[in-house]
Amino acid sequence: MRTSDVFELLRDGQPRTRAQLAETSGLARSTIASRIDALMRLGLVAPYGGGVSTGGRPPSLLALNPLAWIVAGVDIGATHATAALADLAGTILVEHRDDLDVALGPEHVLGWVEGVVADLLAGQGRSRHELAAIGVGLPGPVEHSTGRAINPPIMPGWDGYDVPGHLQRAFDVPVLVDNDVNIMALGEQHAHLPDIDDLVFIKVSTGIGAGIVSGGRLQRGAQGTAGDLGHVAVARAGEVLCRCGNHGCLEAIAAGPAIARGLREVGVEAVAGQDVVALVRSGDPRAVQAVRQAGRDLGEVLATLVNVINPSAIVVGGALADAGESLLAGIREVVYQRSLPLATQHLRITTSQAGERAGVIGAAALAIGHVLSPEYIDNATAAVG
Ligand SMILES: [Zn+2]
């Protein structure tokens, strides 16, 4: 049994004694002791109870020490960016958000990331050496294995750019990069659905995409494009031209700009998704109806996904999620009608609770998942002897 296996027993944050760890793992107490010693040298495991000793005996409970290392989570959107520091439990310690146009290019945007992360560390009284990893979400397709954006439509200058390489010039730590909706799925799960192993997070905004967590793991697929639901064909989209060049995509009729365009065609003034949301909130019946129809279109694609992967939760995020019940009602209508009763019996369909913070929480969770992985823990403990 490896050191990481002992660490896994403590990852839930519950304190345990050495005897309990030996019993659960089936390892000899001497083996447990040496594994725990290695983890304590790394600072990852510490005596639990803050030194409240009774009768002069040292505290016998051990627990994960979430403040041993710090990670940075960075959520880069189309027009804004957020960077945060988190402890190993994923608790956000401090964060900073700025308006920032991703089209300014990688040198400019990643320069902002370097500066803000350095400032946040200094503000926490932490050195660069205490930073363990950086997680980054980008608003475009990302090849996860290399951390490079590939042909991102709204990110001029980023195609193929080595994001980890850039940030590692300033911070000598692992840099994990993923697309924005994948990190939102992780963030929602981490912050609000920790007991849910199978969920779909669908972002409905200027575009449409989904992050899929199945069996407790984010599913990226072979190249990292899994969950690209915006360009699935739906019947009602017919011959409508999509920005991807194809006809009949879901995004071409159900994303924010498409709903706004539909409203303009019936004489309602709306340009973007935010206008649609404002109209729904003001009770405009045409906007309510248009959003509900978009919900049904989304539901058509989601029903297929429900049949394929049987999630226990569908979470709707992105700007259009603020249209709330109107959108959810359309989605529920079709999903419940089109999926097997067994699949929908306990299926929850809700809007995101993490909201616009889902991305930064998820970026931190991505970094934490890496540094607390068995491979990383075993390498780190081997390095400290
Ligand atoms: Zn398309």
Question: Distance (Å, rounded) from C-alpha 130 to C-alpha 242?
Answer: 46
Q: Closest Cα partner for 202 from 303, 308, 318?
A: 318
CB atoms within 10 A of CB 157: 16
Q: Is residue 258 classed as helix, strand or coil in its secondary structure?
A: helix
How far apart are the CA of 253 and the centre of ligand 1, in A?
A: 10
Q: What is the mean pLDDT of each run of 10 residues along the chain (385 residues)?
A: 86 88 89 90 86 58 93 96 96 97 97 98 94 96 92 91 97 96 97 96 95 96 91 94 94 96 96 96 97 98 96 97 96 95 93 96 97 92 82
Distance 193 CA to ligand 1 centre (A): 30
For ligand 1, the distance from its centroid to the CA atom of residue 207, given in whole angstroms, is 9
| Cα–Cα dist 330/298, whole Å | 8
DSSP 3-state assignment of 335?
helix
> Helix or strand or coil: residue 310?
coil
Nearest by Cα to 209 from 242, 241, 184: 184
CA of 298 to the centre of ligand 1 (A): 14
How far is ligand 1, taken at its centre, from the CA of residue 251, in Å? 6
Query: How far, in Å, is the centroid of ligand 1 from the Cα of 245?
Result: 6
pLDDT of residue 119: 98
Q: What does the longest C-alpha to C-alpha distance in the chain come to?
A: 79
Q: Could you tell me the two tokens for 97?
A: 């958000």
CA 255–ligand 1 middle distance (angstroms): 11
254: which residues sit within 8 A by CB, 6+ positions away? 204, 208, 234, 294, 297, 298
Residue 287 token pair: 């906007």
CA of 135 to the centre of ligand 1 (A): 28
d(CA 362, CA 385): 32
Bridging pattern class, strands 131-138 and 175-179: parallel
Ligand 1 centroid–CA 208 distance in Å is 10
pLDDT at 289: 97
Whose structure tokens read 């739906």? Answer: 234
Ligand 1 centroid to Cα of residue 148, in Å, is 22
CA distances from 9 to 30, 46, 62, 194, 299 (A): 17, 14, 11, 17, 40
**241 Cα–ligand 1 center, Å:** 8
Phi, psi of 149 (to 5 degrees): -75, 140
Other CB atoms within 10 A of residue 278 CB: 15
Q: Name residue 156's amino acid.
A: P
Alpha carbons 31 and 3: distance in angstroms, whole number: 9
Token digits of residue 289: 């109806």
Distance 222 CA to ligand 1 centre (A): 20
pTM (global) more than 0.85: yes
Distance 85 CA to ligand 1 centre (A): 36
Cα 232 to ligand 1 centre (Å): 7
Enter the tokens of residue 177. Answer: 């990069």
Tell me how far the alpha carbon of residue 371 lies from the centroid of ligand 1, in angstroms: 36
